[in-house]
Chain A
Amino acid sequence: MDSIAFLTPLFEPRILMTIAAGTFGGLIIGALPGLTATMGVALLIPLTFGMAPIMGLNMLIGIYIGGIYGGCVASILLRTPGTPASAATVLDGYPMAQRGEAGRALGMATIASTVGGLIAAVVLATLAPELAGIALEFGASEYFALALFGLTIIASLSGDLLKGAISGLLGILISTVGADPISGVMRYTFGVQGFASGFAFTPALIGLFALSEVFTQMERIAAKEEPIKIVSGRWPSRTEMKESRGALIRGSIIGTLIGIVPGTGSGTASWISYNECRRASKTPEKFGTGYAPGIAATESANNAVCAAALIPLLALGIPGDVVTAVLMGGLLIQGLAPGPMLFQTNPDVVVGIFGGTFIATIFMFIFGMALIPVFSRILMIPRRLLAMSIVIFCFIGSFAINLNPVDLYTMVGFGVLGWGMQKFGFSQAALCIALILGPLLESNLRRGLLQTHDDVVAFISTPITLLFLGLTVLSACWPMIANALAKRRAARTQLHQEAQ
C-alpha cells in the first residue's frame, strides 16, 4: 500500500531525532508551571520555516504531546498544574505524592497518557474523515448544553453540595470579568486595562492550586508536621493497574470525543473524564484521596485530546483547540492548506502526521518513564526551600505568559482565595471547572439566543442539545439516584440474608 510507503521517511534518523527533541522539549515546558504547550508550539514555529513539512510539523506535534503530558509532573509533585490540562490530575496525584508514592503516581500518569495518546492516534489514523463531521454539528446550543453538562461535575465532586454550588457560582461570576462576549462592553474591570480580557486563566490556576498550597504548608511547617517520605519506584502495582483499566479506556474515549469538538480542549476533557470514571467506579469514594484510577482518568483523557484535536484540523481545516490553531499556522506556512483536499493533494503529509503522532507518543512514554526518578527527587528538597522555589515559580510562570504585571496580582489574589477556600472546606476544583466552563456556557447561551431571536425552544431543541441536556439532568440527580440504588441493594441483600 502507498500509505505505508509514506511512513518510511519518518524513520530517517534526522527526523526521529527531531521528533524526540520536540517531545523532550515539550515535556520540560509542560512540567514548568506557567509554560504551556501552546506557548512551546508557538515559540518554536519559526524554527520549522526551513524544515521539510514532515519534520517541522512532527516536531511541533511532539512539543504538543510532550507538553500536555509534562503538565502532570508539577500537578503530582507540587500541586501546581503545569498546564491547565493537568489541573484535574492534582486531585489524586498530589495525595499520592504526599503518601510517598510520587513515583507510582507519575508512572500511572505516564502509562495513562500513553494509552490515551495511542488510542486517539489509532482513531485519528483510521476514522478521521468519518468522525470529523461531529465537529460540524456543534453550534451555539450544543456548546451550551455541553458546558452545562460539564458543570454538573461540581455536584458530584464536592462532598458538601451547598459549598460546591457556592464555589461553582463564584467561579462563573469571576469568569464574567472582562469584555462582554456579545456586545464588547467592559464588565467588572474597575477600569483596569489588564482585566479587559478577564482574569488570565493560567495565573489564576497557579494561584488557586499552587500558591494556596504553599500557604497551607507554611502553616504545617510552622506546626512541625512530618515531611513527605520518598518511596522509589515508577511502576504502578498490579492491583492499581487492574483497578485503572476501566478508567484508562473510558478516559481515552471521552478525551477522543471531546478532542474532536473544537473549542473545548484538554482542560474540559480531563474534568469530564474524571467525573465519569468516578461515577462508573465501584469505589467512587476513593477518588480524590490519592487513587490511581483518578490519575488514569484525567491523564488518558488529556493526551487523547492531542491526537483527536488533529481530526477536525486535518479533515476539515478546523483547529480543535488553541495548540492545533497554532499548528494550522505551521501548515499554512508550509504552503499546505488543511482541509478535505489535503488528503488528496498531500497524502504523504497526512500519513506522516499520523505516524508522527504515534512516534511522539512512544518517545513521550520512554522519556517520561526514564525521568521519573529525576523528577521525584524534587521532593527531597527540604520543605522550606521547596516552598520558596514554588513561590518563585508561581511568579515567573504567571508573568511569563503575557508579561502582564496584572497577572501577578491575579495569581496572588487567587492564591489567597484558594487558601481560604481550603481552610473552610470549599472546593477549589469546583471553582476551577466553573472558570473553564463559564465562558463557554455564557457566550454560547448569549450567541444562541441572539441567533434564534430569543426563541428558547428553537435554541434547545436540536438532537445533540437534547442529549446533553438529558445527561445534565441525569448527572445532577445522580447522587440521589445512586443513593436510592444503594439503599435498594442494601435492602435486597438484607432480605436475602434474612431468607437464608
Chain B
Amino acid sequence: MLKSIFIGAAVASAAATGALAADFPQRPVQVVVPYSAGGSTDLSMRVVADTFERLFDGQMVVRNQPGGGGAIGSAAAVNARPDGYTLGAGAQGPLVIKPLIGGTNYQLDDVEFIGLYARSLQVMVACADAPFSDYDAFVEYAKDKAPQVGNSGAGGANQISAEAFADAAGISIESVPFNGSSEARTACIGGHIDAMVASPAEALAASEAGQMTPLFVMEDERMDLFPDTPTAVEKGVDFTWSSWKGVIGPKGMDEETLAWLREAVEKVANDEEFRKTLTDMGEFVVYEDSEAFEARARKDMETSKKVLEKLDMLGMNN
C-alpha cells in the first residue's frame, strides 16, 4: 500500500518534470553494503562508488550495515524507499541462501536486480599436509574417507559450494565451519583441515609458496591465473559456482530511474580504470545485465535449496 503511494508519487513527479532520468541523481545515491568495511564486497563497492563519481555528475556513498550474515543490510536495501537513492550491494549469501535457511524478512522475489559487475571465482584447494594434491587423488580419497573441508561459516556460500560439488561428484565431505574465510585459510595453511574453497586472490600467493595446492576451479573454463588446474566440468562433473558482486535495489522504482541506474552500472563495469583496479584486487570483472544477473541468482538458489535440504537446514531458522 505504502509502496504504491510512493510509486504513484514518483510517476506523478516524473510526468510533471517530463524527464526524470535527466534529473537523476539530484542528491547522493547511497549503497548499503551488508558487511563491515574492509571485505571484498565492501572494497569493490567503494571502487564502484569512485568510478560512479568520476563518470557521472553525482555522489555515491557506501554505507556499511553488517550483522546477521548480511541479512540486516540486505533487508535495509530491499525494503528501502524505491526512489533510486538507496541501493544495495547484491551478495549471494544474504540474497540467495539466507532466505532459504529462514529468519529473513525478505525473499529473493523482493529484490530488484540492477546489474552485476564482477564475480568472485572459486577454487577448491588442498591444504598443507593433505593426503591428496590433485583432482583425481582428491576424489579417490573422498570415496572411502570424507575429507574435512573448511568453510567461512555454517550455511554460507562456501559451505554450499563444497557440498554441492560433493553431491554432483558423488563423494562425501565433512564440512568444518569457521568464523570467516580468513580463519579457514589460516587453518588450511596450518594443515588443520584437508581442503577448502578459496577465491583466486586467497589461493594464488599461497599456492605459489606451496602452502596450498589448487585441485579444480568451479568454472566452465580454466582460469588464466591457474592454467594447469582443471575444471570440474572437464573432469565430467556438471558443477560450476561463483559468488557475485552486483548492485540491487528495492522493487517498485520507476522505469526511467531504473533504466538510468542499469545503464550506469553497465558503464561503470566497462570502464577501463575500474576494470584494472578490480582485476588487481583479484576479482573477475564481467558485466551481466539485470536479466542475466537475476537468472544467475535463481539458478544458485536452486542449487542451494538442494544442498540445504540434504543438510537439513532448509527453513531451519523460520
Contact = CB atoms under 8 A, between A and B. Distances in A.
B72 to A, nearest CB: 6
A451 B50 contact: no
Contacts of A326: 37-38
Contact of B205 (A191, A317, A333): A317
A39 B38 CA distance: 8
Interface centre among B47, B67, B201 (most CB of A within 10 A): B67
Interface string A332-361: 111101111110000000000000000000
Interface stretch (A40-48, A83-91, A295-303): A40-48
A423 B128 CA distance: 53
B37 A42 contact: yes
Contacts of B201: 332, 337
B218 to A, nearest CB: 20
Contacts of A46: 43, 46-47, 50
Given A341-B205, A450-B176, A197 B190 contact: no
A404 B177 contact: no
Contact of B211 (A317, A334, A439): A317
A135 B211 CA distance: 13
A412 B208 CA distance: 50
B270 interface: no
A196 B205 contact: no
A196 B69 contact: yes
A338 to B, nearest CB: 7
Interface in B56-76: 63-69, 71-72, 75
Contacts of A406: 67
B154 A183 contact: yes
A397 interface: no
B101 A325 contact: no
A138 interface: yes
B190 A194 contact: no
Interface in B26-67: 36-40, 42-43, 46-47, 50, 63-67
A450 B192 CA distance: 12
Interface string B190-208: 1111000000010011101
Interface centre among A182, A184, A197 (most CB of B within 10 A): A184
Nearest to B40: A329
B209 interface: yes
Contacts of A451: 148, 176, 192-193
B190 to A, nearest CB: 4
A182 B71 contact: no
Contacts of B313: 183-184
Given A43-B37, A45-B38, A325-B38, A316 B211 contact: yes
Contacts of A42: 36-38, 42
Contact of A333 (B39, B155, B280): B280
B75 A193 contact: yes
Contacts of A38: 36-38
A402 B281 contact: no
Contact of B43 (A317, A333, A439): A333
Given A42-B36, A182-B154, A197 B186 contact: no
B183 interface: yes
B101 A341 contact: no
B178 interface: yes
A460 interface: no
A455 interface: no
A179 B67 contact: no
Given A319-B182, A325-B182, A184 B316 contact: yes
A184 B153 CA distance: 8
Contacts of A193: 68, 71-72, 75, 103-105
Interface centre among B148, B205, B280 (most CB of A within 10 A): B205
A169 B239 CA distance: 46
Nearest to A263: B183
Contacts of A339: 205-206, 208-209, 211
B189 interface: yes
B177 A181 contact: yes
A276 interface: no
Interface centre among B64, B103, B183, B186 (most CB of A within 10 A): B186
A45 B176 contact: no
B13 interface: no
A121 B69 CA distance: 35
B277 A333 contact: yes
A186 B208 CA distance: 39
B176 A403 contact: no
Contacts of A49: 47, 50, 277
Nearest to B183: A263
B281 A404 contact: no
A334 to B, nearest CB: 8
Contacts of B40: 329
Contacts of A322: 38
A325 B72 CA distance: 23
B50 to A, nearest CB: 6
Contacts of A403: 63-65
Given A136-B191, A183-B154, A184-B313, A337 B67 contact: no
A196 B39 contact: no
B57 to A, nearest CB: 20
B245 to A, nearest CB: 14
Contacts of A184: 101, 153-155, 177, 313, 316-317
A329 B71 contact: no
Contact of A329 (B38, B103, B183): B38
A319 B176 CA distance: 20
B27 to A, nearest CB: 18
B68 A194 contact: yes
A332 B282 contact: yes
A179 B177 CA distance: 12
A334 B47 CA distance: 13
A185 interface: yes
B81 interface: no
Contacts of B4: none
Given A316-B189, A339-B206, A402 B64 contact: yes
Interface string A414-445: 00000000000000000000000001000100
Interface in B230-289: 277, 280-282
A317 B182 CA distance: 10
A153 interface: no
Contacts of A329: 38-40, 43, 281
A140 interface: yes
B108 to A, nearest CB: 17
A332 B281 contact: yes
19 contacts: A42-B42, A45-B43, A46-B43, A46-B50, A49-B277, A136-B128, A184-B101, A184-B317, A186-B317, A193-B105, A196-B72, A317-B189, A325-B182, A329-B39, A337-B205, A337-B208, A340-B209, A340-B211, A406-B67
Of all A-B residue pairs in the complex, the 8 with the closest CB atoms, nearest first, are A42-B37, A337-B205, A184-B154, A196-B68, A326-B38, A42-B38, A136-B190, A139-B192
Interface of A: 38-39, 41-43, 45-46, 49, 135-140, 179-186, 191, 193-194, 196-197, 200, 262-263, 312, 316-319, 322, 325-326, 328-329, 332-335, 337-342, 402-404, 406, 439, 443, 447, 450-451
Given A45-B38, A138-B190, A318-B186, 5 more contacts: A184-B101, A185-B316, A338-B205, A402-B36, A451-B176
